[in-house]
């Protein structure tokens, strides 16, 4: 039986529109457009699932070392192979 252990740390920041524009200006030379997006971008929609007793929510809130996340992600209009649909 394989045991998979990883550590992830997330830090999130709220920034202003002006800070966002400056950030993009600074990092743009090091970026490349996503070939599946429109103008290099696409929309990601996430739907998170939980049980009626909110087990997953409380695992996250209580910062349990081993916790789960169950989500459905949708990336714009894609087909079964993940390719962007042209309309």
Tens digits of per-residue pLDDT, 7-52? 667 778 888 999 989 998 999 999 888 777 777 777 888 888 999 9
Q: Evaluate whether 56 touches 70 at the Cβ level (below 8 Å).
A: yes
55 pLDDT above the threshold of 50: yes
Distance of CA 26 to the CA centre of its chain: 22
Q: Give the confidence band of 63 by pLDDT, cuts at 50, 70, 90.
A: confident
Binned at pLDDT 50, 70 and 90, residue 53 comes out as very high
Q: Please report the pLDDT score of residue 2 as a whole number.
A: 66
The reported pTM is 0.45
């Amino acid at each position: 039986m394989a045991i998979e252990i990883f550590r992830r740390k997330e830090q999130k920041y709220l920034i202003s529109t002006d800070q966002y524009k400056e950030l993009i200006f600074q990092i743009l030379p090091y970026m490349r457009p996503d070939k599946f997006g429109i103008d290099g971008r696409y929309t990601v929609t996430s739907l998170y699932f939980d049980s009626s007793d909110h087990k997953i929510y409380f695992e996250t809130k209580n910062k349990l070392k081993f916790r789960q996340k169950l989500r459905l992600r949708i990336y714009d209009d894609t087909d079964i192979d993940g390719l962007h649909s042209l309309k």
